[in-house]
Structure 1
Amino acid sequence: MSFAIYPSLKDRRVIVTGGASGIGAEIVKAFAAQGARVGFLDRDLDASNALVAELDGAVDFEPCDLRDIGALRGALGTLRSRMGPTDVLVNNAARDDRHDWREVTPEYWDERMATNLRHMFFAIQTVAPGMIDAGGGAIVNIGSNSWWEAGGGFPAYATAKSAVHGLTRTMARELGAHRIRVNTVVPGWIMTERQKTLWASPEALERHRARQCLPDLIEPVYVARMVLFLSSDDAAMCTANNYMVEAGSI
């Protein structure tokens, strides 16, 4: 399959959170292939170093537990010192851990919000001033189709991901006057190694295929391609919206 090249992404300075594996790693690879200057944050040192090695050191990496906002700000500052101000921010990091609503404690709920939502706002808060100074930029938040489908088994995760929609809309309004675009990419069930290992049983896959309009399972590369488009000049008039990559799942 042949994919587009976006000349406007060459030499753009891109930050991806949660970039060591899964969808995040595919996004990092996609930007690197466009000639962008890519840095990513992740707490998984082994996976991060493996990705840097796979890409022959063409991308930068800073270790960070995104639940620690001070560490997040510090890591973004470190990448800025090496790469320069951020042109594109991709708020990707999240974990869709399953949980029974009857067993959720206030502490677990807060940890899920910190893992799946809170860092997105503070990453935007940290990088947006540089985008304002530069006269524009692009922010892509990764949402989830789970709450659109009324999916069960992870109420804290689904709640956090539904809030990404609100974050995108309000920050698009806050930053639009500075020509900073903010959008959400909404993946369906994406066949990452984590999904295949933990939940993609033959029975679950068949049930899911029946809900999609298209018959094929969705690979992470297709999420990355939508992120590239929304980060490029081709999407100059796209902001405050959701862009679905879910094969018509209902």
Structure 2
Amino acid sequence: MSAEETMPTYPDLAGACVFVTGGGSGIGAALTEGFLRQGAKVAFVQRSDAAAFCDRMAEETGNRPLFIRCDITDIPALERAIADASAAHGPVRVLVSNAANDLRQSIAETTPEAWDASMAINLKPYFFAARAVAPGMRAAGGGVIVNMSSVSYMMGNAGYPAYVTANAGITGMTRALARELGPDRIRANALMPGWVLTEKQISHWATPEDLAAHLDKQCLKEHLAPADIVGGCLFLASNASRMMTGQALVIDGGVVVTG
């Protein structure tokens, strides 16, 4: 059975205000759809136009997301988008920081400017989005932050050192958020996908040789699709994980291990 066919229902997510960065394409689009199908009020940001995606979601789920065009490297704009989402849907109860750019650049190719650009999208917005939603979550009696990381740093992957570093930073930052925000009943966890075959991955980097080599590393011999990440995110966002915080949940088909 597919991931969509086995998706559980979390009644506490119905009506919840959910904010997703990069929520109109790739893994982010699958997450947006997953929350919409739970009956959540979803707002998402990305740079490119997502009107067609919103139309399709409204038709297929009966629940239209709120799209706010935003470059998340512009922190004031990101903060305004979160404020706009709260004005439309109520205080953000679930933040999913998902937007990222895994541009391939070797150590030699990574200039100071390239390093800063990578951190500006792959790490900095994660912190400031959490900072922006925390007051509303605190006033509402709690909330959930899900930071999308990656197993790339656990594998020690070569070819994109800034991206790998940022994802290690996301996991460390998530633990700091969990500790500091926990007294306000705000939970923070990292969700760490393996190699998910989005359209971007297929068109840019998924050669037959690399796909075969990666599949050989997995315990489960099936490539991951965006829908395979949705269940874990819904679980972390829901009351089913109410006493889980500061953790890293891996969904990679069995490449790396935690604990």
Gaps of 5+ in 1: none
Q: What is the one-letter code of the residue matched to 1:156?
A: A
Q: 1:237 aligns with which of 240, 243, 252?
A: 243
How far did residue 3 of structure 1 move? 1.6
TM-score, normalised via structure 1 length: 0.97
Structure 1 residue 132, shift from structure 2 partner: 0.3
- Amino acid paired to 1:200: A
Structure 1 counterpart SS, 2:152: coil
Structure 1 CA distance for aligned equivalents of residues 198 and 135 of structure 2: 34
- Kindly indicate whether the alpha-carbon contact (under 8 Å) linking 2:106 and 2:158 is maintained by their aligned counterparts in 1: no
Give the C-alpha shift of residue 231 in structure 1. Answer: 0.4
The CA deviation at 1:42 is 0.5
Letter in 1 for 2:224: I
- Picking from 53, 56, 65, the partner of 1:54 is 56
Offset of residue 95 of structure 1: 0.8
Q: Which residue of 2 aligns with 1:68?
A: 74
Alignment RMSD (CA, Å): 0.9
Q: Sequence identity, in percent? A: 44
In the alignment, structure 2 segments of 5+ residues that lack a partner are none
Counterpart AA for 1:157: Y
- In structure 1, the residue matched to 2:36 is 32
Render the CA deviation track for 1:142-166: whole Å, top value 9, x for unaligned: 0001110011110000000110011
Whole-angstrom distance in 1 between the partners of 2:241 and 2:16: 15
Q: State the aligned residue count.
A: 248
The alignment's TM-score, normalised by the length of structure 2, stands at 0.94
- Residue identity in the other structure for 1:44: S
Q: CA deviation at 1:28?
A: 0.1
CA distance in 1, matches of 2:185, 2:85: 23
Which 4+ residue blocks in structure 1 deviate beyond 6 angstroms? none
Deviates more, 1:24-33 or 1:196-205: 196-205
Structure 2 counterpart of 1:29, one-letter code: E
Q: Could you report, residue by residue, the CA deviation over 1:175-213 in whole angstroms, capped at 9, with x for unpaired residues?
A: 001111100000000011111111111111100011111
- Structure 1 residue 197 corresponds to structure 2 residue 199: no
For each residue in 1:116-139, what CA deviation from the matched residue of structure 2 results, as whole angstroms up to 9, or x when unmatched?
A: 000010001111100000111110
1:126 alignment partner AA: A
